[in-house]
Amino acid sequence: MRVMDGIMAIPGILLAIALATIFGGGISTVILALAIPEVPGVARLVRSLTLTLREQVFIEAARSYGASPLRLLFKYILPNALAPITVQATYICGLAILYEAYLSFVGVGVPPEHPSWGNIVAEGRSFALIAPYLILYPSLVIVAVVLAINLIGDGLRDMLDPRFALPD
């Protein structure tokens, strides 16, 4: 976990820029640059969920019943940990869209011949005074998609964990 803490100490976008710059542009490099900063957060979430769940009464009951560690993991811990992990995945998806657009905008993301919202905004930058809609519309689409993904994550959280749902 100390390695994960060290990675988490670096802001995600700076780490993504550094990785994309070191390994060069390309789709696989961008995917790697987007994934590495998010791994420590997911690892920390999974670890905390596992440590919390293993102290629950139903795990003790299954352990006293003679369940193997693999059975405990796959039958009891994993199903109870999937809801928070799924919600976290939606937030990571929205963040990945923002990071990819930013990396492409500054020129270290996917190559310009590939379609990307960041590339579209970067191409429209030179025509900003003549046609501001070339920047405005792709930027609004990025905002709308990230907002929609975050709202889906909130809905999933409310649906999968009723403790956080608002009263009717």
Q: What are 6's two structure tokens?
A: 């060290």
pLDDT digits (tens, 9 = 90+) for 105-156: 998 989 888 889 999 999 999 998 999 999 999 999 999 999 999 999 988 8
Q: What is the DSSP letter of 102?
A: H
SS3 category, 24: coil
Delineate the domains of the chain, giving CATH numbers in brackets.
2-164 (1.10.3720.10)
Q: Which parts of the chain are beta strand (E)?
A: none
φ, ψ (nearest 5 deg) of residue 134: -65, -25
pLDDT of residue 104: 92
pTM: 0.84
